[in-house]
Amino acid sequence: MSKILKEKLSSQIPALREEAKSIIKNHGGKVIDSVVIDQLFGGMRGIKGLICDTSSVGLDTGLIIRGVPILELTEKLPEEIFYLLLTGELPDEKALKEFQDDLHKRDEVPAYVWDVLNAMPKDSHPMVMFSTAILAMEKESEFRKAYDEGISKDKMWEPMYDDCINIIARVPQIASFIYRKKFNKGDMIAPDKKLDWAANFAMMLGVKDEDGTFAKLMRLYMVLHSDHEGGNASAFTNLVVSSTLSDAYYAFSGALNSLAGPLHGLANQECLRFILKMREVIGHTPTDEEVRNYCQNLLDKGGLVSGYGHAVLRITDPRFTAFVNFGTNTIPGDEIFKMVKQLFEIVPNLLITQGKAKDPWPNVDAASGSMLYHYGVKEYEFYTVLFGVSRILGFSAQIILARAMGNALIRPKSVTTEWIKSRLQDRYIKIIKQKKT
Ligand code: CMX
């Protein structure tokens, strides 16, 4: 690494940040080429630049899969949801059985994947292991082979489909292998071809589940996390990578890396870690007053309350509601679950009073960990892998459709700060909103 370069950059950064802040403050509401300057500096938030038909997320509705609100789909199997995401219809019994049989037929994980995982450092994060395992399997890609043989564009979706279904069939084994290896749970457990996808996964994790409630939780978990339209960071990464005619292995590995950030999928791990830490610091199950003070202190220091806020939603995430409903029916007296509900009573008001977060309400990550914790998956570092396994359903549906539609290479335009400044002249500017003072 060049020290001079790093130091030079480091000395420039404060002025660059100041300049950006000043442009946003003085010109953030002005329009340049139909994009608001805030959006250029603000993660392209809200710019409509993609088509994704698998699902949509309304700010006041939450996740809607092919026209059906997620709260109406909580009793379905993840396999049914995948079918719905991809085709717009739920499968009948025969179609479901055929799809489940197909998944079982394709479930053999190449032995070298275990070698790769066994060779990784013991302290690798489970998401690193998961993303690496998927990428390591790239040589299995049917799409890559077909491309090398000169497949025509209109047929490309077929090997893409095969790759995706192969990956969906194999990820429960890969994820459970990671769980058992990383957390010293013993040898891997073989799949059972009689079980549905999520129950098989639950069984392979090795969690004690005499009455089948953990399997039910896994089904719900996979359904709730299956998709969230195309603009979120991991889905977008998936679409960007695959838009280069890259295959599903490359696309999912990249998308999982994006999911692994604390502002996105890692928030489920962070949320449970936060609850346990708060209990430890306070020394007992905290009172409302203690929770309020603890969270206020965190916010005062500029910290994030994981599991709260969203880039699109402006309501309590219906996926949070679904988890709370499940918890209320199955583990109403659980201490950690009760703390999740306690935070729900307290955090939104604190965020509203602070006045920064546009959405003060809980998202999907606020409740899921407490359920997993209760049923024995206490190693919260693993939680984002569960999110990833579920989301591979949506990733798959999205890139199969994108390939089928022959979607274009994703290539938006970046501009320089100099360019923005050069456009800050009256003849270019249209103000479309009042900036907040
Ligand atoms: N706690 C504290 N501050 C928060 C906050 C939270 N939960 N949510 C937003 N804010 C702050 C932001 O950090 C930002 O502060 P600055 O202006 O100082 O940078 C300000 O409020 C405005 O942010 P926003 O426009 O409301 O939110 P964004 O669209 O930029 O980001 C999200 C959305 C989810 C990243 C943000 O709400 C957050 O960081 N939440 C906590 C992490 C989390 O739960 N992520 C999971 C989201 C769901 C998922 O993808 O799995």
Task: Choose among 63, 41, 17: nearest CA to 231.
Answer: 63
- Strand, helix or coil at 278? helix
For 394, the token pair is 């949506």
pLDDT score of 252: 98
Distance of alpha carbon 245 from the chain centroid:
22
Give the Cα separation of 258 and 1 in Å (integer). 25
Q: List the residue whose alpha carbon is closest to atom 50 of ligand 1.
A: 264
Return the SS3 of 263.
Answer: coil
Which ligand 1 atom is at minimum distance from the Cα of 312?
A: 29
Identify the DSSP state of 430: E
The structure tokens listed for 24 are: 């946003």
125 occurs within a structural domain: no
In a domain, 64, yes or no: no
Nearest atom in ligand 1 to 233's CA: 50
Marked catalytic residue, from 228, 359, 365, 374: 365
Counting ligand 1 atoms within 8 A of each CB, the residue from 268, 301, 304, 314 with the most, and so the one to mutate, is 304
Cα(81)–Cα(392) distance, rounded to whole angstroms?
12
Residue 145 belongs to a domain? no
Beta-carbon contacts of 221 under 8 Å, excluding residues fewer than 6 positions away, are 198, 368, 371, 372, 386, 390
C-alpha angle with apex 269: 287 to 208, nearest 5 degrees?
90
Ligand 1 centre to CA of 357 (Å) is 6
- Could you tell me how many residues make up the chain? 437
Q: Based on the structure, what is the number of domains in the chain? A: 1
- The dihedral of CA 356, 325, 378, 311: what is its sign? negative
The whole-number pLDDT of residue 434 equals 53
Domain contains 84: no
Ligand 1, residue 45: give the atom nearest the CA: 29
228 is an active site residue = no
Q: Is 312 inside any structural domain?
A: yes
Q: Please list every protein residue whose CB sits less than 6 Å from any atom of ligand 1.
A: 45, 263-265, 267, 299, 304-311, 356-359, 363-365
CB of 182 within 8 A of CB of 123? Answer: no
**Can you tell me which residue has the tokens 């999740």?**
340
Q: How far apart are CA 310 and CA 218, in angstroms?
A: 24
Which of 310, 317, 359, 374 is labelled catalytic? 310
How far does the centroid of ligand 1 lie from the alpha carbon of residue 363, in Å? 11
Q: How far apart are CA 193 and CA 191, in angstroms?
A: 6
Low-confidence ranges of the chain (pLDDT < 50): 435-437
Per-residue confidence (pLDDT) for residue 55, from 0 to 100: 98
Domain of residue 319, residue span: 267-381
Taking CA atoms only, the protein residue closest to ligand 1 atom 16 is 356
Residue to substitute in 63, 300, 308 for testing ligand 1 pocket (most ligand atoms within 8 angstroms of CB): 308
Atom 1, ligand 1: residue with shortest CA distance: 304
3 state DSSP class of 63 = strand
Q: Which atom of ligand 1 is nearest to the CA of 307?
A: 44
Can you tell me whether residue 54 is helix, strand or coil? coil
Inter-residue contact 205 to 377 (CB < 8 Å) = yes
Sign of CA dihedral 170, 175, 176, 178: positive
Sheet (strand 430-431) strand order = 35-36, 30-32, 430-431
pLDDT tens-digit profile of 38-87?
Answer: 999 999 999 998 999 999 999 999 999 999 999 999 999 999 999 999 99
Neighbouring-strand partners of residue 31: 36, 430
Calpha distance 226→388 (Å, rounded) = 9
The enclosing domain of 281 has a CATH number of 1.10.230.10
Q: d(Cα 367, Cα 363) in Å, to the nearest integer?
A: 8
Q: Which residues contact 126 (CB under 8 A, 6 or more apart)?
A: 178, 179, 182, 381, 382, 384, 385
Q: Would residue 194 count as lying in a domain? A: no
Torsion angle, alpha carbons of 340, 199, 168, 255, to 10: 10
Given 27, 225, 264, 374, the catalytic residue: 264
Q: What is the 264 CA–ligand 1 centroid distance (Å)?
A: 10
- Atom 3 of ligand 1: nearest residue by CA position: 304
- Look at residue 278 and tell me if it is in a domain: yes
pLDDT in tens, 206-230: 999 999 999 999 999 999 999 999 9
Predicted confidence at residue 17, as pLDDT, reads 84
Residue nearest to ligand 1 atom 40, measured at CA: 309
The question of whether 365 is a catalytic residue gets the answer: yes
What DSSP line would sit under 81-116, residue for residue?
Answer: HHHHHHHSS---HHHHHHHHHHHHHT-PPPHHHHHH
> Ligand 1 atom 32: the closest Cα is on which residue?
310
- Asked if residue 275 is part of any domain, the answer here is yes
**Cβ–Cβ under 8 Å, residues 355 and 311:** no
For the CA of 264, the nearest atom of ligand 1:
50
